[in-house]
Amino acid sequence: MKKRFLYLLLTAGAAVCIAGGCGEQATAEGVLSDMSKNMEAKNSLEGTMSFSFEGNVAQESDGTSVSVDMNMELSADIQLMLGDVQSSYVNGTLDMSVMGINIATPMEVYSVPEDGAIVSYTGVQDQWVKSSADNDQSSGLDGGLFDSDYESLIEDGSASVVLSDETKQIEGKECYEVTMTLQGEAIEEMFGASMNMAGSALDGLEAEAMDWSGASQDCLIYIDTEEKVPVRVETDMTELLNRMYESMEGDVSAEISSMKLSIVYNDFDTVDEITVPEEVKAAAVESSSSDNLIDELENEVGSEDVSTAETDENGNYVLRDYDGNYAAAIGPLEGYNLGYASQTSVSYNDDSTNLSYSFYNFTTSEDMLHVYNHGSWIQEDENCSDYAIGELQQIDVNGMPVSWYKETYIYMDTPFTEYHAWVSFDDMTQFACDISYMSFEGGSQVDDTIVETAFKNVDIS
């Protein structure tokens, strides 16, 4: 599943946060009207954003369905310029857990106008990617979303608002609590633009193709009773995201158990401008599409830019150790597709197996027994069972002594096998291949000979 739906929620959450205000005789409509007027006078805002996602994602291939549980939590600081100048800055961490494997990914995103387009610079672990979109299809936090005419939505019945009888203490401030409910196509007006700007939250999902009739979305908006500005917005988007998935065509489906978004507004008019540091511009690699933050996070954990990889005269990918003393050329593997290639790693895969090559510097052969070992988390995860680890073995492949061992376990009723193999260049330099295999009916079959397969097209020097 494309993880870019995180961006959708981020921008959509910002959009619903424009409402607010109140008059002496507080009504929901008056609160929204007064706050809208106050927001029109603001030039910028700073805040914090968080959301959590829990769900099960399934993909069908050749009549066989494979599903995995996925949990995600995002926590980020945001800066946003309001008005005509659309620019934003996001700095946070995405924590993901997929099939018991936890990944914490720090990330930064600058989105600024350049030459009539909105250009985003996405940084993940010191790697930067540059992408662009038309002004009406911003891939960043879009300040234009704050211009929605909520009074008209209320007048024509597309939205309804309710003011709670009592004020609430939120973020240390006394706040009005307004519940806004969007109906039907008003949801597309607010959330559909975000999906289209991001190129859709999920593969095959287009807002225009969805049936919005009967759909509704609630947002809780907390507004400072004195300053008449937003303090926090909360929304539970579980039902909406499930509706999006139901509208999709293709081989991906999902059952989302929870998707919640919260944005806290900390300060206004504290940011004069948002600029991209020159070193970021210099380091950024041009993206071939208008991928956004979530795309690049997905790329970080799933693929890398082949343009950074070194190749030899035969087209084989070349990896080198930290000091440049050793090299390994990896040729194509019959029956496997190139997953990614960079200066530090190369990956091949098929429908059920992934082979990932890399150097391990300042690592002994004995250390390699512990680098990959999954035993600790498997034994703690209630979804895992039948864990076993094999003995260390060694085979000769094209004159190379290859050390290897394997782990087997069952996760969510699906058998998995992990092969860990490496060649020692010296006491502190290892060249390794990590092989992950998921067994399912109709998928390719793998046995211990995969270790020889992994190294038969490797040439070391």
Query: How far is Cα of residue 407 from the mean position of the Cα atoms in its chain?
Result: 28
Whether the CB-CB separation of 359 and 322 falls below 8 Å is answered with yes
Please report, for residues 101, 198, 439, the alpha-carbon distance to residue 296 in angstroms, rounded to integers and kept in the order given: 19, 12, 29
Looking at the fold, whether 15 and 71 belong to one and the same domain comes out as yes
Radius of gyration of the chain (CA): 25
pLDDT at 452: 94
- Number of domains, the chain: 2
| Sole residue written with tokens 């007048």 | 155
CB atoms within 10 A of CB 44: 21
How is residue 207 annotated by DSSP?
Answer: G
CB atoms within 10 A of CB 294: 26
pLDDT tens sequence for the chain (461 residues): 333 333 333 334 444 433 333 335 689 888 888 888 888 889 999 999 887 878 877 766 555 556 667 778 878 899 988 877 678 899 888 777 765 556 677 888 898 998 888 898 988 767 788 888 655 444 344 333 344 566 677 778 888 889 999 999 999 999 999 998 888 777 766 655 344 433 333 444 555 556 667 778 888 889 999 999 999 988 887 887 777 777 666 666 777 788 888 889 999 999 999 999 999 998 888 875 444 444 444 444 444 444 467 888 888 999 998 888 999 999 988 888 887 788 888 888 887 788 889 888 888 888 887 755 555 556 666 767 888 888 999 999 989 999 999 988 887 777 888 899 999 999 888 999 988 888 765 555 778 999 999 999 999 88
Looking at the fold, whether 276 and 331 belong to one and the same domain comes out as no
Residue 390 buriedness (CB in 10 A; 0-12 / 13-18 / 19+): middle
Look up the CATH number of the domain holding residue 436.
3.40.1000
Last residue in a domain, options 239, 271, 300: 300
Please report, for residues 197, 410, 446, the alpha-carbon distance to residue 349 in angstroms, rounded to integers and kept in the order given: 31, 21, 12
Looking at the fold, whether 26 and 128 belong to one and the same domain comes out as yes
Instruction: Tell which residue, 291, 426, 434, has the closest CA to residue 349.
Output: 434
Looking at the fold, whether 233 and 162 belong to one and the same domain comes out as yes
Looking at the fold, whether 343 and 371 belong to one and the same domain comes out as yes
Whether the CB-CB separation of 423 and 402 falls below 8 Å is answered with yes
pLDDT at 169: 95
Looking at the fold, whether 220 and 339 belong to one and the same domain comes out as no
Q: Cα separation of 360 and 367, whole Å?
A: 10
Q: Cα separation of 64 and 68, whole Å?
A: 14
CB within 8 A of 199, min separation 6: which ones?
A: 4, 289, 290, 291, 292, 295
Looking at the fold, whether 295 and 309 belong to one and the same domain comes out as no
Looking at the fold, whether 65 and 214 belong to one and the same domain comes out as yes
Looking at the fold, whether 174 and 319 belong to one and the same domain comes out as no
Q: Cα separation of 104 and 302, whole Å?
A: 14
Instruction: List the structure tokens of 136.
Output: 């009406």
Q: Cα separation of 61 and 144, whole Å?
A: 40
The β-bridge relationship of strands 400-411 and 285-286 is unpaired
- This prediction's pTM: 0.59
Instruction: Tell which residue, 18, 25, 263, has the closest CA to residue 150.
Output: 18
| Sole residue written with tokens 């260390």 | 392
Please report, for residues 246, 439, 449, the alpha-carbon distance to residue 409 in angstroms, rounded to integers and kept in the order given: 32, 11, 19
Looking at the fold, whether 104 and 249 belong to one and the same domain comes out as yes
Looking at the fold, whether 360 and 256 belong to one and the same domain comes out as no
Last residue in a domain, options 233, 268, 300: 300
pLDDT at 24: 53
Domain span at 10: 5-300
pLDDT at 217: 82
Bridge partners of 71? 54, 97
Last residue in a domain, options 271, 300, 329: 300
Looking at the fold, whether 86 and 66 belong to one and the same domain comes out as yes
